[in-house]
Every structure is written in C-alpha cells, then in structure tokens.
Structure 1
C-alpha cells in the first residue's frame, strides 16, 4: 500500500510541466504589488515618524541628541519585543508586509519571534538556542561586511 507522499510523488511524475505550472499559479495567485508597496511605505513611514517623535520627545525631556537617539532605539526595540510577544506585531506585519522590516523593529521582531515559538522547549534549548535563528545570519554578515569595509577604508587611507 502506498503512503500519501508516495501517491503525491507518483502524481507529480505523471504531470507535465504545463500542468504543474497551472497548479502552482492556482495555488499562489499574484500579489497585489501596488497595494503591498503602498502599505509598506505607509507603515514603514509611520514607524519612522514615531521614532522621530520619540527622539524629539526625549530631547524636550532634557536629553542631548545622542542620548535621545539611544533612548529612541531602546524604546522601539522594547515596544517591538512586547508587541511581538502579544502577537500584535505579527498581525500588523500581515497587512503591512515589508513596512514592518524597518531595521531596528524588524531586528527586534526577528529575535523575539523564534524565542516565542520555541518557548515550550524550555529556556535553554528553546528560547536560548533558537533566539538567534533568524537574526544570527544578519549579525554574521553584518559584522563580516563591516570588517571588510573597515579594511578597505584603512587600506585606501580614507579615515
């Protein structure tokens, strides 16, 4: 007796390329590109505008610009982590798409999401081990590219 996956493989072997193309088009219809771009622009812009509001607010509270920017970054990271844990950020991302990938909020979301997903596996093997699953490559390639950039700057005397 054939398993479900073996039946699926037999079906795919009998299928022509045209039939397969029709099946994939039906399964994944084209995205509304204009709507997606507009939502990404509006939500990403709203996040950035809120960030600027925080900088201005922290400055009016007596912090200098450098301290206000640090406080704004910390606040955005904390809010994103909290909203991700409460599943608010993920619901926003469903509608906003790439607009929620504004670097600092997207990075915070990429840290918290896997941690929340693997929480049942425990603090060490779940949260601790899986926290950097998505953001780890970002850190690795970001750090490596900054080292290469620094070497180039040093070698050409552009510092």
Structure 2
C-alpha cells in the first residue's frame, strides 16, 4: 500500500496525542528547580563538611547521578518524570536515568550482552559527541592560545 505524504501526515496527527504544554510546564519548572536546589544544597553541604571548594560541584554532580540511578532502579524516577517531563530529563539526572533504565530493562539478557551492551544505548551518542566536542574545543583553545 502506497501512502502519500499528506495521507501519512493525517495518520500521524490522528494517532498522536495533543501536546499539553500549558499543563506540564509548571511541573517541569517546579521539579527541575527542586533538582537544581538539591544540587546547590549538596554543593553547600559538601563545603560545610570541609571538601575543597573546587571539588564540591563534582561531588554534588556525582551524588545527583547516584540518586537518579537509585530512583530509576526503585522505579520511582519514571513516576516523577511522568509529572515533571523535561524538568527531570534536562538536568544531569536525566543522563543518569538514560544509562540506568536500559541497563535494568536488558538485565535478563545477561551482564555482558544485556547490561553491558544496552546500558549506553540512549546515552552513548551523547557521551561520544560530548567527548569529541570537548576534544575539538580543547584543541581550538590550545591552538589559538585562548586559555
């Protein structure tokens, strides 16, 4: 069966639910803001514990990644994400969820072919292009003496 572009567009519009941006925006803003508040609280808390100031943001980021992975494993993160949408997916917590969720989904296939192979299914391109961009920008800065 051959479909025209117009017929296909009509099928997609019929099957796609309408966007509820006005209803989901407050939740995304609230949860995303709370994640950022938690991150800043962790930075301040690590500083209060005597961690050197330049390492506090790194420690806070690692803590947020660990918490998001734990919440993904406990099947709580998805429930939060249903309400908050991009508020949970845009911060670093979304990256942790993108790594942990496929690992959990494919654990029945074994540690190597399941967890190991599928773990970076979603996050892999982000890591590859992020590292490549970092190297490229670093080379540009080094070549032009901008640092």
User: Runs (4+) of structure 1 moved beyond 6 Å?
Assistant: none
2:92 paired with 1:104? yes
Change (3 A) 1:154 1:31: same
Gaps of 5+ in 2: none
**Residue 28 of structure 2 is aligned to residue 40 of structure 1:** yes
Question: What does residue 82 of structure 2 align with?
Answer: 94
Structure 2 counterpart of 1:60: 48
Q: So what's the TM-score if we normalise by structure 2? A: 0.88
- Between the aligned partners of 1:139 and 1:23, the Cα distance in structure 2 is 35
Question: Unpaired segments of 5 or more residues in structure 1?
Answer: 1-9
The structure with more radius of gyration: 1
1:47 and 1:102 in contact (8 A); partners too: no
Judge conservation of contact 2:30–2:87 (CA < 8 Å) in 1.
yes
Partner residue in 2 for 1:113: 101
Select the structure with the greater relative contact order (CA < 8 A; seq sep ≥ 6): 2
Cα shift readout 1:71-114 (whole Å, capped 9, x = no counterpart): 21221111111100111111111121111123321111111011
- What is the deviation of 1:20? 4.5
TM-score after normalising by structure 1: 0.82
Q: Does 1:126 align with 2:114?
A: yes
